[in-house]
Homo-oligomer: A and B are copies of this chain.
């Protein structure tokens, strides 16, 4: 950390900063510029550094953090890619993970039928929401535990592991009984109580980026899960909120190579929420794989116009099949398998 003093800072103020650094257990390293005095913090100490403590001291212009604020999620401390065991294979290896299925679990028949179709089309996991976060209290909120039971049945029939959302600490235990992967939705990315709770389980977690969260915020939320002892975290880029309204969200394809550089955790792309329109899902799925993503999560529905939610962005099963073929060719071109 570096503390930059204002040009008009008094020497008393500089001394106070130095005294604080020392009382926090670090050494202070002074550079006197023409305009600014700059004070570096050197050494190690059990006292965690709080930028704010220094930034609100008298005479301080700004505080510059040097090291990343996350540790367990950082590639610096853990250079090798994390692999997550899932259904006998290793998520994060050469093979692309493709999670597909309807936005909501709508009925027992629907989810079982979809699971088998997805499996046949080449998906490697099944998605489906039993608890649905909806903007409106008047929209369909999911079938709850019944939906989870149907998902488990669909897994048995299709052999596909199940990815499903958990919205509240009180649901975690129940969802763990049925799901292979716990999904944390974008709106809950900074629900820290929930992050702590899923961190206490050993179930794999799919952590979706919040729509106004930076890449660093996402890694800090991953850090919550990791710090609680659960190392099985996959990150998911699903589009951020910008001024552009031609698509539902702006899929931040840059985040894929940025995350691959900063962290060892696998990165999944969600072209369905990332665009909001079924006609753009396939090109963005191709782009995500070309950019280096380790997997995809895609919404598929047999009759999108009848879907309980997100119909506009759902592929039909035959469109999903076509997407898989195109994705396979791009995966080959970048040395992966799909």
**Chain B binder among A81-89, A116-124, A200-208, A235-243:** A235-243
Does A246 sit within 8 A of B, measured CB to CB? yes
Report yes or no: B246 in contact with A214, Cβ–Cβ below 8 A. yes
Contact of A247 among B4, B56, B210, B258 (CB under 8 A): B258
Q: Mark A190-220, 1 if CB is under 8 A from B, else 0.
A: 1111101000000000000011101111001
Decide: B135 and A305 in contact? CB cutoff 8 A: no
Asked if B192 contacts A133 (CB within 8 A), the reply is yes
Q: A329 at the A/B interface (Cβ < 8 Å)?
A: yes
Contacts A190-B187, A214-B243, A246-B258; A220 near B135 (Cβ below 8 A):
yes
Q: Tally A residues with Cβ within 8 Å of B.
A: 112
Interface string of A273-308 (1 = CB under 8 A from B): 011001110011011111110000000000011110
| Chain B: CB-nearest residue to A304 | B56
A167: chain B residues within 8 A (beta carbon): 191-193
Q: CB of A322 within 8 A of chain B?
A: no
CB–CB A137/B290 < 8 A: no
User: Closest chain B residue to A17 by CB distance?
Assistant: B305
Residues of B within 8 A of A52 (CB): 307, 309-312
Chain A residues 33 to 91 lying within 8 A of chain B, measured CB to CB, are 33-36, 38, 40-44, 48, 50, 52-58, 61, 64, 66-67, 69-70, 76
Q: Which residues of B contact A287 (CB under 8 A)?
A: 253, 256, 287-288, 290-291
Give the complex CA separation of A141 and B284 in angstroms: 37
Interface residues of A (CB under 8 A from B): 2, 4, 7, 29, 31-36, 38, 40-44, 48, 50, 52-58, 61, 64, 66-67, 69-70, 76, 133-139, 141, 167-171, 187-188, 190-194, 196, 210-212, 214-217, 220, 223-224, 227-228, 240-247, 250-258, 261, 274-275, 278-280, 283-284, 286-292, 304-307, 309-312, 314, 326, 329-330, 332-334
